[in-house]
Amino acid sequence: MTHQPYSRRRQRVLERLGDGVAVLATAPERLRNRDSHYPYRFDSYFWYLSGFPEPDAAIVLVGGQQPRSLLFCREKNEERETWDGFRYGPEAAAAAFGFDEAYPIASLDQKLPELIANRRALWHSLGHDTAWDQRIAAALNSVRGQSRGGTRTPGEIHDLRSLLDEMRLIKDAHEIDNMRRAADIASAGHSRAMRACRPGMAEYELEAELAYEFRRRGADGHAYTPIVAGGANACILHYVANDKLLASQSLVLIDAGCELAGYASDITRTFPVGGLFSAVQREVYEIVLSAQQAAIAAVCPGASFTDYHQAALRVLAQGLIDLKLISGSVDGAIESDAYKPWYMHRTGHWLGLDVHDAGDYKTGTADDDWVRLLPGMTLTVEPGLYFRPGNGIPEHLHGIGVRIEDDVLVTAEGCTVYTHAPKTIAEIEEVMRHD
Ligand code: GLY
Ligand code: MN
Ligand code: MN
């Protein structure tokens, strides 16, 4: 592994700090029950600036004339390493991850006051973790206690996340490479699930096909709890039980992505359990697919974040008119929110280290203050239509839920879709043929 992408990001932060100091801790290990832990996942901001995978670690970035980046981490420990595995220890970690200095994490509380003393500003993820807030407050109080000796306490406290969110919104080449690989693996997982699907299978069997493909290809696992929703379960937006049988005449919606080197992919595909779309399933699917194509066409530099949502909405509203679920004009349907019973979410979100990634969506409070797209931003495009049984919906639409989701990179020319699981009706029916 090269530490350069991470040290370059630290360098950029140091340039922004002036003479300030930033303190950033990784996530703690969390107990699942009694003495066994959840699989460890680092803090995304910490990872973004370090690539350091161990818990019990923190970064201190010291700005000013001689900028320095410091890592605090666990010490080597032969006994613990026998039980739990390798630890870098400060010395090896500094070399491998490109830090100027590294110290045992146990020395952080003692060192913090001297690191923040006489600095104008302290940057910290305020309110993210109460224990860390208290440690920072203790360090500030310790410095304040030295004021009669002439030591000054930082008078400005800033949220480090606001600075990092802005950086994380535009992906660098290293991030784009990771995201492309995560997208490739997730695409393969969805293709595998389509090929494996048979009527009568349980939803969790398709979940297992995805997990197998993700791990087999070296991803860390699922990027978020996968949704494998047969029939009407697809109309429950966050359905994660995945424990029902798949009926031959129904569709199944899978929303699943993998995590690779910390980066998420996020794909949704909807396909017929039996391998062939019925006429009404086809009709709904084509509306959602057209909405997605229109939305992708609206992703380009200079467009606002809401433009692609509006593009999808127009196609979906026209589709709902064609299905005779709403009457009047497309503009009227959008104005009055008449589409909302069947399309109740937005058309996408930022994607990166977090599946719903860091970064503002608006630059102000006015209706049209949406962020303008720039090359390097990555987002999902995921329109859908959901016909929950009831609500006066004609019976032939009951239980049809369709979403199609891809991951898109804004480029200088427009955008690149880097997920590629079968998507058109012809592609899906072809990959599902069992002859
Ligand atoms: N999988 C979460 C989402 O699509 O937003
Ligand atoms: Mn999504
Ligand atoms: Mn999704």
Q: Ligand 1: which residue has its CA nearest to atom 5? A: 356
Contact 257, 224 (CB under 8 A): yes
Task: Compute φ and ψ for 407, nearest 5 degrees.
Answer: -105, 130
Mean pLDDT of 142-149: 94
d(CA 111, CA 113): 6
Alpha helix ranges (H) inside 76-202:
78-84, 89-97, 108-116, 130-144, 160-169, 173-196
Q: Tell me: the pLDDT tens digits for 259-306?
A: 999 999 999 999 999 999 999 999 999 999 999 999 999 999 999 999
To the query of whether residue 35 is one of the catalytic residues in this protein, the response is yes
Class of domain 173-431: alpha beta
Contact 203, 252 (CB under 8 A): yes
Mean pLDDT of 402-408: 99
To the query of whether residue 386 is one of the catalytic residues in this protein, the response is yes
Dihedral through CA 409, CA 415, CA 419, CA 424, nearest 10? 150
* Ligand nearest to C-alpha 407: 2
Q: Is 379 helix (H, G, I), strand (E, B) or coil?
A: strand
Contact 227, 266 (CB under 8 A): no
Name residue 152's beta-bridge partners.
none
- The pLDDT, as a whole number, for residue 250 is 98
Residue 105 confidence (pLDDT) above 90: yes
Q: Tell me: the pLDDT tens digits for 74-102?
A: 999 999 999 999 999 999 999 999 999 99
Q: How confident is the model at residue 435 (pLDDT cuts 50, 70, 90)?
A: confident
Pocket of ligand 1 (CB under 6 A): 224, 255, 266, 349, 355, 382, 405
Residue 382 confidence (pLDDT) above 90: yes
Query: Which part of the chain has CATH 3.90.230.10?
Result: 173-431
d(CA 184, CA 218): 11
Report percent pLDDT > 70 for the chain: 100
Query: Which part of the chain has CATH 3.40.350.10?
Result: 4-167
Nearest atom (ligand 1) to Cα of 403: 4
Contact 307, 270 (CB under 8 A): no
Residue 71 parent element (H or E): strand 68-73
Q: Tell me: the pLDDT tens digits for 9-45?
A: 999 999 999 999 999 999 999 999 999 999 999 999 9
Which of 184-198, 261-275, 380-394 is the least confident region?
Answer: 380-394
CA-angle at 167, arms to 415 and 366, nearest 5°? 75
Query: Per the confidence metrics, is the pTM higher than 0.95?
Result: yes
d(CA 366, CA 336): 20
Residue 1 confidence (pLDDT) above 90: no
The DSSP string of 274-302 is TSS--HHHHHHHHHHHHHHHHHHHT-STT
At 5, list the tokens: 């992408």
To the query of whether residue 382 is one of the catalytic residues in this protein, the response is yes
Q: Which fold has domain 4-167?
A: Creatine Amidinohydrolase; Chain A, domain 1 (3.40.350)
d(CA 186, CA 256): 7
- In 3D space, the residue among 372, 347, 350 whose CA is nearest the CA of residue 362 turns out to be 372
To the query of whether residue 434 is one of the catalytic residues in this protein, the response is no
Place of tokens 């020395």: 107
Residue type, 241: A
Report percent pLDDT > 90 for the chain: 97
- The pLDDT, as a whole number, for residue 391 is 73
Residue 321 confidence (pLDDT) above 90: yes
410 class by beta-carbon count within 10 Å (0-12 exposed, 13-18 middle, 19+ buried): buried
Q: Which of 242, 259, 382 to mutate to test the pocket of ligand 1 (most atoms within 8 A of CB)?
A: 382
- Among residues 349, 354, 357, 418, which one is catalytic? 349
Residue 431 confidence (pLDDT) above 90: yes
